[in-house]
């Protein structure tokens, strides 16, 4: 959003290591809170756009059943109670920003046979927003197959149209664009900035024991007729989805090193590139925390394009508001 002229006025992040990375990269003293559930909506500064992600956790129907048994009326807002999504609704209801941008996994649309997504959209519409959504694959911009749902809403009538989004041809970007060069250069230990490079650290190469285990695991599941297992790729390939569990064994994206060597994990810097972060993005945390953060991140170029598409409609809403006042 800052890339299209916005300015961040508030951030909430409950993980202390993610806050550490945030502060290392954004040093303008912008406020950052912890758990959003502990933040009163009135303590959040006024804003024009709310950006958020939330877990696709079960939306319990037990409370609704109880309300029915007592003869009480209920709606989508009641059904969203008790979930982190409800905090999105809580802040939107208090501040009434002109627009919002939400992100979630593709399966949000099918979770609980579509009931969860019905609650999400219904609650947003119930508080007065016009809602649009689209599943977008980061592979249009990055060498990674990563499908995520993007939900956009406007408080007033808008001509926003996802069909006008500009998506490059899938597959144009290969892993060669994010991998370290073949001469084996890699980031040094510590907070990484551009130019801080050193010889390849062997810690990213899988041990023979782990590699043998992963191959046996894959063979076992292949025999059972399912697709579980590790994935070994090279510079001309597209990666599978980077996940927050990547720090455990790296099995979803292993880089072929040839010459009879075991494959290696992506380095944190390569993971940053795979998510669309520039090389001057500082990584001040351990490899484990970095893998978790990039695995949980949005694909930056996807949301840069969505922000570009939203911008004229946000401006239009602001102009309409000024005229009305």
Q: How confident is the model at residue 27 (pLDDT cuts 50, 70, 90)?
A: confident
| Residues 6 or more apart whose Cβ sits within 8 Å of residue 237 | 143, 174, 175
Q: Which residue has the higher pLDDT, 190 or 156?
A: 156
Q: How confident is the model at residue 12 (pLDDT cuts 50, 70, 90)?
A: very high
Least confident of 123-132, 193-202, 243-252, 271-280: 193-202
**Residue 296 to residues 58, 241, 245, Cα–Cα distance (Å):** 19, 11, 9
Q: What is the mean pLDDT of the chain?
A: 84
Residue 9 and residue 47 in contact, taking contact as beta carbons nearer than 8 Å: yes
Residue 267 and residue 223 in contact, taking contact as beta carbons nearer than 8 Å: no
Whether residue 135 has pLDDT greater than 50? yes
Mean local confidence (pLDDT), 161-187: 81
Mean local confidence (pLDDT), 289-311: 96
Distance of CA 222 to the CA centre of its chain: 30
Whether residue 160 has pLDDT greater than 70? yes
Whether residue 315 has pLDDT greater than 50? yes
Say what the pLDDT of residue 77 is.
59
- What is the H or E stretch that residue 26 is in? none
Residue 107 and residue 115 in contact, taking contact as beta carbons nearer than 8 Å: no
- The CA distance from 155 to 98, in Å, is 5
Q: Where are the domains of the chain?
A: 2-166, 175-294
Mean local confidence (pLDDT), 79-85: 67
Say what the pLDDT of residue 322 is.
56
Least confident of 46-60, 66-80, 217-231, 259-273: 66-80
Same fold, 2-166 and 175-294: no
Q: Which residue has the higher pLDDT, 76 or 267?
A: 267
* Per-residue exposure over 213-247, b if at least 16 CB sit within 10 Å of its own CB, e if not: ebeeebeeeeeeeeeebbbbbeeebebbbbbeebb
Q: Which residue has the higher pLDDT, 138 or 180?
A: 138
- Which residues, listed in sequence order, are joined to residue 144 by a DSSP beta bridge? 239
**CATH fold of 175-294, please?**
DNA Methylase; Chain A, domain 2 (3.90.120)
2-166 is classed in which CATH architecture? Answer: 3-Layer(aba) Sandwich (3.40)
Mean local confidence (pLDDT), 53-63: 57
- The CA distance from 87 to 93, in Å, is 10
Whether residue 19 has pLDDT greater than 90? yes
Whether residue 284 has pLDDT greater than 70? yes
Least confident of 23-32, 41-50, 79-88: 79-88
Whether residue 104 has pLDDT greater than 50? yes
**Token digits for 82?**
């008790």
Whether residue 209 has pLDDT greater than 90? yes
- What is the H or E stretch that residue 223 is in? helix 208-223
Q: What is the DSSP letter of 189?
A: S
Whether residue 84 has pLDDT greater than 50? yes
Q: How confident is the model at residue 107 (pLDDT cuts 50, 70, 90)?
A: confident
**Residue 276 to residues 56, 165, 218, 252, Cα–Cα distance (Å):** 24, 18, 30, 18
Mean local confidence (pLDDT), 157-179: 93
- The CA distance from 286 to 292, in Å, is 10
Whether residue 218 has pLDDT greater than 90? no
Number of Cβ within a 10 Å radius of residue 21: 21
Say what the pLDDT of residue 189 is.
43
Of 51, 56, 230, 271, which one is the catalytic site residue? 56
Burial group, residue 40, by CB count within 10 angstroms (0-12, 13-18, 19+): exposed
Please confirm, yes or no, whether 56 is among the known catalytic residues: yes
Mean local confidence (pLDDT), 127-133: 96
Q: How confident is the model at residue 76 (pLDDT cuts 50, 70, 90)?
A: low
């Amino acid at each position: 959003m800052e890339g299209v002229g916005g300015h961040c006025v508030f951030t909430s992040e409950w993980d202390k290591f993610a806050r550490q990375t945030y502060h290392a990269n954004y040093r303008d003293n912008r406020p950052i809170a912890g758990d959003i559930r502990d933040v009163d909506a009135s303590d959040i500064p006024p804003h024009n756009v709310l950006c958020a992600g939330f877990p696709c956790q079960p939306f319990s129907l037990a409370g609704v059943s109880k309300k029915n048994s007592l003869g009480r009326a209920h709606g989508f807002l009641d059904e969203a109670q008790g979930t982190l999504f409800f905090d999105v609704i809580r802040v939107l209801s208090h501040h009434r920003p002109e627009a919002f941008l939400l992100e979630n996994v593709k399966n949000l649309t099918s979770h609980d046979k579509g009931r969860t997504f019905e609650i999400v959209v219904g609650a947003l519409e119930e508080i007065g927003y016009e809602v649009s959504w689209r599943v977008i694959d980061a592979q249009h911009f990055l060498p990674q197959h990563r499908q995520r749902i993007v939900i956009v809403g406007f408080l007033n009538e808008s001509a926003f149209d996802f069909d006008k989004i500009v998506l490059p041809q899938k597959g144009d970007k290969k892993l060669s664009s994010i991998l370290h060069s073949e001469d084996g250069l890699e980031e040094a230990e510590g907070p990484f900035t551009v130019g801080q490079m050193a010889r390849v650290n062997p810690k990213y190469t899988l041990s023979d024991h782990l590699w043998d285990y992963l191959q046996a695991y894959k063979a076992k599941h292949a025999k059972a007729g399912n697709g579980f297992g590790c994935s070994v790729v090279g510079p001309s390939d597209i990666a599978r989805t980077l996940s927050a569990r990547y720090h455990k064994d790296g099995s979803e994206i292993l880089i072929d090193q040839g010459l009879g060597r075991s494959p290696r994990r992506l380095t944190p810097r390569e993971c940053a590139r795979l998510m669309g972060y520039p090389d001057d993005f500082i990584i001040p945390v351990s490899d484990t925390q970095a893998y978790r953060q990039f695995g949980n991140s949005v694909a930056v170029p996807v949301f840069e394009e969505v922000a570009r598409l939203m911008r004229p409609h946000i401006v239009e809403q602001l102009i309409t508001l000024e005229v009305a006042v």
